[in-house]
Amino acid sequence: ETGVTQTPRHLVMGMTNKKSLKCEQHLGHNAMYWYKQSAKKPLELMFVYNFKEQTENNSVPSRFSPECPNSSHLFLHLHTLQPEDSALYLCASSQPGLRAHNEQFFGPGTRLTVL
């Protein structure tokens, strides 16, 4: 595997379900990100982790719970979601540093549908 991978690619869940999204980066980076991409809205940053520590939480509802056990893996745990949470969830990684930090590499995304 190369680059940034995300599983599953598609997920359908009910509002009472609990599921998790997984992201893995094979680039040796130490920063990872979760984004939400909804139709007709700009890409929204959700969370940022630098060296496994959360450094940004963009006022995300608590029904989204991120976990970063190491620099290569990032999870997004989902519970009691709402239909408006249906979106494409993108993971990205970068290498901290003055300039490299901002060159983010994206995974293909998980298309989430909440029924």
Partner 1 sequence: AQSVTQPDIHITVSEGASLELRCNYSYGATPYLFWYVQSPGQGLQLLLKYFSGDTLVQGIKGFEAEFKRSQSSFNLRKPSVHWSDAAEYFCAVVASSNTGKLIFGQGTTLQVKP
How many angstroms separate the CA atoms of 24 and 59, rounded? 24
Residues of this chain, 50-79, that bind partner 1 according to CB under 8 A? 50, 55-56
Task: Name the one range near partner 1 by CB under 8 A: 12-20, 59-67, 74-82, 99-107.
Answer: 99-107
- Give Cα separations from 3 to 28, 64, 95, 108, 111 (angstroms): 10, 24, 13, 10, 19
Q: Which stretch binds partner 1 (CB under 8 A): 14-22, 68-76, 79-87, 102-110?
A: 102-110
Where along the sequence are the contacts to partner 1 (CB under 8 A)?
A: 4, 6, 31, 33, 40-43, 45, 48, 50, 55-56, 90, 92, 94, 96, 98-99, 101-109, 111
